[in-house]
A and B are shown apart, each in its own frame.
Chain A
Amino acid sequence: MQAEAKSTGLQQALFDVALQIGDDHLILGHRLSEWCGHAPTLEEDLSMPNMALDLIGQASALYTWAAELEGKGRSEDDIAYLRTDREYRNCLLVERPNTDFAHTMLRQLYFSTYMRAFWAENLDSPDPVFSGIAGKAVKETTYHIRHCGEWIIRLGDGTDESASRMQAAVDALHAYTGELFIDTDGRKACIDAGTISASANIQASWQQTIDEVFSLAKLTAPEVPWPQTGGREGLHTEDFGYLLTELQYMQRAYPGAKW
């Protein structure tokens, strides 16, 4: 009886983690998809939706897993499209508006660098679904980091205009990075059970990559006296409501539509 309660508790904790990461991927994937048809060059107009599809594919796998853990008969689409804003658990970083190409590349670098470290640490997770997702994701995130990193290096160390825009993006977004490393109750329970790795190694690896890119890009990370957090508890920024309206429109207007 006690063992069963313990396993149910872990299942709930794993569900929380799957939902947090799944939401991160869905929301950032949606943000990137907003560039489709609007990118500064044809090449990037393919590249950003490519990355968006990688992210939405990860979200799909994570939601399917979350739905199984929950066992209440919800589908991945139910989880993706039929929740209200307070029920989303994504970090605030991924919902920040695209603003310009510099902001978009930097937001992606921050997130993908975190995710690559996270997946790499969890390749050996005892949960087979989780380690399976990790194996595919490590390759995808490695490419995202390379792509965004190369752009950031060229923009930061480029013209006066590109350098000032790149630094402005760092000044605007850096305060949102701390939330990536918060161990929520769900995460703590999974870490204690040995299902996912603790954040310490992940943060060190993240910092190293960001420092390398910033050094080559001649960018300076600002001091962050007040980290911006709240997304993991469902407290989002104003921009999030508009994003959800767009994201959920089809499912709300035509419930259960198929094609």
Chain B
Amino acid sequence: MSDSIQMTPLWEVFIRPRSGLHHKHVGSLHAADAEMALQAARDVYTRREEGNSIWVMRADQITASDPVNSDSNFDPAADKIYRHPSFYDIPDEVGHM
């Protein structure tokens, strides 16, 4: 790893498109610290009015699931379609859910 990469580690960027929605991962960037990461995120990811709030988080602070465990983690959900709430008749009065 080169010096410049160590001085500007990787940050993950999350943008909230509108008030009321949740922040969504949009990409990553290199920056020296949290404040500079926010500045860079503003310039890199919100130039086209993509959002009104930014979160940044150091990539090395994220704990990720291991792809080796994908089968045991995710396959068991495949045949449990009843967990989707798609077997209910929703009254019209409820409107959009």
Contacts and interface: CB of A to CB of B under 8 A. Distances in A.
A41 interface: yes
Interface string A150-161: 110010000000
Contacts of B89: none
Contacts of B40: 43-44, 47
Contacts of B30: 41-43
A156 to B, nearest CB: 13
Interface string A121-151: 0000000000000000000000100110011
A130 B36 CA distance: 33
Interface footprint category on B: 10 to 19
Contacts of B32: 154
Contacts of A43: 29-31, 40, 43-44
A46 interface: yes
A150 B44 contact: no
B64 to A, nearest CB: 24
Interface string A32-43: 000000000111
B36 A47 contact: no
Nearest to B47: A50
Contacts of B43: 43, 46-47, 50, 147
22 contacts: A41-B30, A42-B29, A42-B30, A42-B44, A43-B29, A43-B31, A43-B40, A43-B44, A46-B43, A46-B47, A47-B39, A47-B40, A47-B43, A50-B47, A147-B39, A147-B43, A150-B35, A150-B36, A150-B39, A151-B36, A154-B33, A154-B36
Interface of B: 8, 29-33, 35-36, 39-40, 42-44, 47
